Amino acid sequence: MGAGPARSIFASVQVVALFMLLTLHPVSGLTEIGELVEVGDMVTARYNHTADLLSDGKVLVCGGTLDGETPIPDAEVFDPDSGTWERGASMTECRMRHATALLDGRVIAAGGYRGPPGAHPSLLADYYNKGAVSSSSCEIYDPSIDEWSAGPPLITGRFWHSIVPLPSGGLLAIGGLNVSTGALSSCEILEEGGMEWVAGPAMNHARARFTATVLPNGSILVTGGHDGTDKTGSASCELYVPSEGVWVEVADMNKGRGYHAASLLHDGRVIVTGGFSFPTEPDHSDGEIYDPKEDSWTLVGEMSFPRHNHDSVVFDDGAVVVIGGSNCATGGCHSTFDLYDTGSGEWKDTGVLNLGRKWTTVTRLDDTRVLIAGGKTCDAPSDFSEVYVYDQGGGGENDTPFPALYLLIAAPSSFLIVHRLFAPRERTPLRNVRTPETGRAG
């Protein structure tokens, strides 16, 4: 065979190979969108704590527990510029499963749980008549002087509740658990500059371990939770309308959820993820979105793992990251985290944390950075913290099906074309191997 026909045959093989590479359905690799950066350990290991972003960009963490039963008063502050933690003034009262909110640049901490050994604070039967306490006290932290001062006490002691801002500048304390009566439907209002909490309109349903999300119009969407008698997740939802001072029942979620997470999307809708349905049933691995204009819920697909006791954050481009949590089916703590692309409506298995844990706090620092602090591993409280740096323009999947194939078949003249079409974009990958439900990744 002459050189000419040989070159023609080889060129034909090149074209066929290139066509195959263009049309083969790619095998997706692990999506890696951004970078995980280890920062300094916390001063105190803890879980069931709270975290609040202060006006200067620092983060206040307070309270929590080391054993699930005994609260601590310790507080500390994270400086994102130095990546370090510094001990702050301790609260005047030990708190866990309390609630916090911003108040004129200060932080108010309200309620919480104190219980004797063996009094697990989940259901009324677990702590009733066992000497447990649901706190009604409040205190206020002033970051400018690193000092806590007494605040007006709640009318009703409560924990596993929520405190959210009102359009008037005041605060609304919602639901929760009380050691004498169980789940609460009652709500309390602290007006801006007020010196006491006053009774507000009660919800239509008593609930704890729910989510409360402030909508763009100031209304507050409450979703799911449980009623304190068992851990069955509720599908019911209701909306507080501040201008009318009433709670209105809205459409139920597609599934009962408790211990789930919720975030406000930029278009005014709300996404909820995961959650606990019932102790003998698997956790949910899906999410759903509420449209307040249509009063309807739409399921939005599956995360990489079922999870509860996790958290979620929304970035500027609309992406939603869901981090950590646990799985009732295995008892494990998740190191995986997932990203929901609101544009494509798809979930991306984003990567793994350096340490799998639940009851961690997830705080958005700025446009691209999220602080993940503390939490509980499968068997111990953690002082570990890390920052997830989201790559808004990068990520995607490694869609090259068989990279060696075109290197062997294609001639050097076509290598650059194929390489530009198929090579993954350069980015700093997450530095972990997959260990979805273990401790620190290798």
What does the pLDDT read at residue 188? 98
182-227 pLDDT, tens digit each: 999 999 999 998 899 999 999 999 999 999 999 999 999 999 999 9
Same domain, 284 and 415: no
For the beta carbon of residue 122, count every other beta carbon within 10 angstroms.
Answer: 18
Range scoring the smallest mean pLDDT among 100-114, 134-148, 184-198, 345-359: 345-359
CB of 233 closer than 8 Å to CB of 276: yes
Same domain, 313 and 409: yes
Of the candidates 134, 243, 146, the one whose C-alpha atom is nearest the C-alpha of residue 184 is: 134
d(Cα 309, Cα 314) in Å, to the nearest integer? 17
DSSP state of 230: S
In this prediction the pTM is 0.82
Residue 81 placed within a domain: no
Mean pLDDT of all residues belonging to the chain: 83
What does the pLDDT read at residue 151? 97
d(Cα 273, Cα 302) in Å, to the nearest integer? 9
d(Cα 161, Cα 175) in Å, to the nearest integer? 5
- pLDDT(432) > 60: no
* Single-letter code of the amino acid located at 385: S
Q: What is the CA radius of gyration of the chain?
A: 25
Of the candidates 157, 158, 150, 162, the one whose C-alpha atom is nearest the C-alpha of residue 195 is: 150
d(Cα 394, Cα 428) in Å, to the nearest integer? 10
pLDDT bucket at 437, cuts 50 / 70 / 90: very low
Same domain, 337 and 409: yes
Same domain, 243 and 257: yes
121-137 pLDDT, tens digit each: 778 888 888 888 999 99
Q: Could you say which of 265, 284, 300 is where a domain stops?
A: 300
Same domain, 331 and 344: yes
Same domain, 319 and 295: no
Q: Which residues of 365-400 are buried (b: 16+ CB within 10 A; e: fewer)?
A: beebbbbbbbbbbeeebbbbbbbbebeeeebbbbeb
Q: Could you say which of 268, 284, 300 is where a domain stops?
A: 300
Query: What sign for the dihedral angle of Cα 36, 41, 46, 51?
Result: negative
Of the candidates 244, 239, 212, the one whose C-alpha atom is nearest the C-alpha of residue 225 is: 212
pLDDT, average across residues 402-422: 33
Q: How many domains does the chain have?
A: 2
Same domain, 337 and 240: no
Long-range contacts of 119-126, Cβ-Cβ distance < 8 Å, separation of 24 or more: 119/69, 120/68, 120/69, 121/69, 121/97, 121/159, 121/160, 121/177, 122/231, 123/182, 123/228, 123/229, 123/230, 123/231, 124/177, 124/179, 124/181, 124/182, 124/183, 124/228, 124/229, 125/229
Residue 155 placed within a domain: no
Report the SS3 class of residue 385. Answer: strand
* Single-letter code of the amino acid located at 394: G
Residue 45 placed within a domain: no
Residue 108 placed within a domain: no
Same domain, 289 and 316: no
d(Cα 91, Cα 88) in Å, to the nearest integer? 9
Same domain, 404 and 435: yes
Instruction: Determine phi and psi for 35, rounding to 5 degrees.
Output: -145, 145
The residue ranges of DSSP E strands in 331-384, in sequence order, are 336-341, 346-352, 361-364, 369-373
Same domain, 307 and 401: yes
Residue 19 placed within a domain: yes
Same domain, 377 and 426: yes
Q: Which token pair is 269?
A: 């809708």
d(Cα 126, Cα 117) in Å, to the nearest integer? 11
pLDDT, average across residues 252-268: 97
Strand 171-174 versus strand 177-178 pairing type: unpaired
Report the SS3 class of residue 338. Answer: strand
Residue 165 placed within a domain: no
Instruction: Go through the chain and tell me how many residues it has.
Output: 442
Same domain, 277 and 310: no
Q: Could you say which of 300, 333, 359 is where a domain stops?
A: 300
Site of tokens 């979105």: 289
Residue 395 placed within a domain: yes
pLDDT, average across residues 320-330: 86
CB of 175 closer than 8 Å to CB of 207: yes
d(Cα 114, Cα 102) in Å, to the nearest integer? 24
DSSP state of 277: -
Residue 259 placed within a domain: yes
Q: Please report, for residues 94, 199, 228, 248, the alpha-carbon distance to residue 136 in angstroms, rounded to integers and kept in the order given.
A: 12, 14, 19, 27
pLDDT bucket at 433, cuts 50 / 70 / 90: very low
pLDDT bucket at 401, cuts 50 / 70 / 90: very low
Q: What is the domain range of residue 253?
A: 212-300
Q: Please report, for residues 157, 206, 235, 244, 251, the alpha-carbon distance to residue 203 in angstroms, rounded to integers and kept in the order given.
A: 17, 7, 15, 14, 15
